[in-house]
């Protein structure tokens, strides 16, 4: 007899939908951004769609916290457990806490963020995550033929800022060459009081031949106080020689640029 396994597939904000065989859920948008002052509320909509061909889904709303690690990866935790949490400010209508969607059906849900009249911290930006979780696991079979139960959870990141949180500042702390990994290692920090999203690009110039090589762009996301380490892979076909690397962090207009430079030998 085949063993029965239980699988929970979890998606946090990187894609709009998640599917597995006959079960699927789409939640959009993947991020909500709010701005309001003390004692004020704001409401935005999310759309939840059952993309399954034949299965009805029983879905429930819950909340949690998240943060980035130094590599920019998501770390999830319980609601209200992080200093930056605004999970306690978030509400949905009572009838939207638990609902059922037939195959192909969609539902709009109002998400409200209400800032308390006083804050226990001096932070200008807060975050949380709103989960849409499937409560009725579906019978399925994995690619090895084993019987499984599939349940899906999708997460939408919630961002809130106070009107006074307008300082965006990224500062490069170091740029090094990692010979064994054949990467440039970029260290930078969000020194502002609000989230900063941007892209890192760069060029290599062979100082012996003058040949210029562009590096692939890398997208990044940060919250205030984040210290980030980014590995920038060098081209596999890079010739041996002496190089000057120029790395540019672009996180807005022409006033929001940060540049780092490094000379290294590639052997």
Q: Summarize pLDDT for 186-244 with one digit per residue, the tens.
A: 999 999 999 999 999 999 999 999 999 999 999 999 999 999 999 999 999 999 999 99
Looking at residues 61-87, what average pLDDT do you find?
Answer: 97
% of the chain with per-residue pLDDT over 70: 90
Looking at residues 248-266, what average pLDDT do you find?
Answer: 92
Looking at residues 25-29, what average pLDDT do you find?
Answer: 94
Q: Quick one: pLDDT band at residue 10, thresholds 50, 70, 90?
A: low
Chain centroid to Cα 119, Å, comes to: 25
**Per mean pLDDT, which range of 53-57, 96-100, 153-157, 207-211 is the poorest?**
53-57
Here the tokens at position 242 are 């002496």
The greatest distance separating any two alpha carbons of the chain, rounded to the nearest whole angstrom, comes to: 68
User: Given this model, what pLDDT does residue 207 score?
Assistant: 97
Q: Quick one: pLDDT band at residue 150, thresholds 50, 70, 90?
A: confident
Looking at residues 73-96, what average pLDDT do you find?
Answer: 97
Going along the chain, which residue ranges are E strands?
4-12, 17-20, 23-28, 31-35, 41-50, 57-68, 74-78, 90-91, 98-101, 106-114, 125-134, 138-141, 147-161, 170-178, 183-190, 196-206, 212-222, 227-233, 241-250, 257-266
User: Given this model, what pLDDT does residue 236 score?
Assistant: 93
Please confirm whether the linkage preceding 14 is cis (ω < 30° from 0): no
pLDDT tens, residue by residue, 37-55: 999 999 999 999 999 888 8
Q: Quick one: pLDDT band at residue 252, thresholds 50, 70, 90?
A: confident
Q: Quick one: pLDDT band at residue 15, thresholds 50, 70, 90?
A: very low
User: Given this model, what pLDDT does residue 23 score?
Assistant: 63
> What is the pLDDT of the chain when averaged over all its residues?
90
pTM score, whole prediction: 0.87
User: Given this model, what pLDDT does residue 210 score?
Assistant: 96
Tell me the C-alpha distance between 253 and 218, whole Å: 17
Q: Quick one: pLDDT band at residue 151, thresholds 50, 70, 90?
A: confident
pLDDT tens, residue by residue, 114-148: 999 999 999 999 999 999 999 988 876 666 767 77
């Amino acid at each position: 007899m085949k063993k029965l396994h239980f699988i929970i597939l979890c998606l946090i904000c990187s894609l709009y939908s998640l599917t597995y065989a006959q079960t699927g859920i789409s939640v959009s948008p993947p991020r909500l951004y709010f701005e309001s002052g003390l004692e004020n509320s704001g409401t935005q909509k999310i759309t939840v769609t059952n993309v399954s061909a034949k299965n009805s889904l029983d879905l429930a709303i819950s909340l949690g916290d998240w943060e980035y690690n130094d590599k920019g990866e998501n770390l999830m935790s319980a609601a209200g457990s992080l200093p930056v949490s605004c999970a306690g400010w978030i509400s949905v209508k009572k009838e939207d806490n638990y609902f059922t969607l037939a195959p192909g059906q969609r539902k709009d849900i109002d998400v409200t963020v209400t800032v308390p009249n006083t804050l226990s911290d001096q932070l200008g930006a807060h975050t949380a995550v709103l989960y849409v979780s499937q409560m009725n696991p579906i019978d399925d079979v994995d690619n090895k033929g084993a019987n499984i139960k599939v349940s899906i959870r999708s997460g939408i990141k919630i961002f809130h800022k106070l009107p006074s949180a307008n300082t965006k500042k990224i500062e490069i702390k170091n740029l090094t060459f990692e010979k064994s990994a054949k990467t440039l290692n970029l260290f930078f920090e969000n020194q502002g009081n609000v989230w900063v999203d941007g892209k890192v690009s760069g060029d290599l110039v062979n100082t012996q031949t003058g040949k210029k090589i562009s590096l692939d762009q890398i997208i990044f996301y940060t919250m205030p106080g984040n210290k980030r380490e980014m590995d920038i892979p060098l081209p596999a076909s890079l010739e041996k020689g002496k190089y000057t690397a120029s790395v540019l962090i672009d996180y807005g207009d022409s006033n929001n640029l940060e540049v780092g430079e490094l000379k290294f030998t590639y052997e």
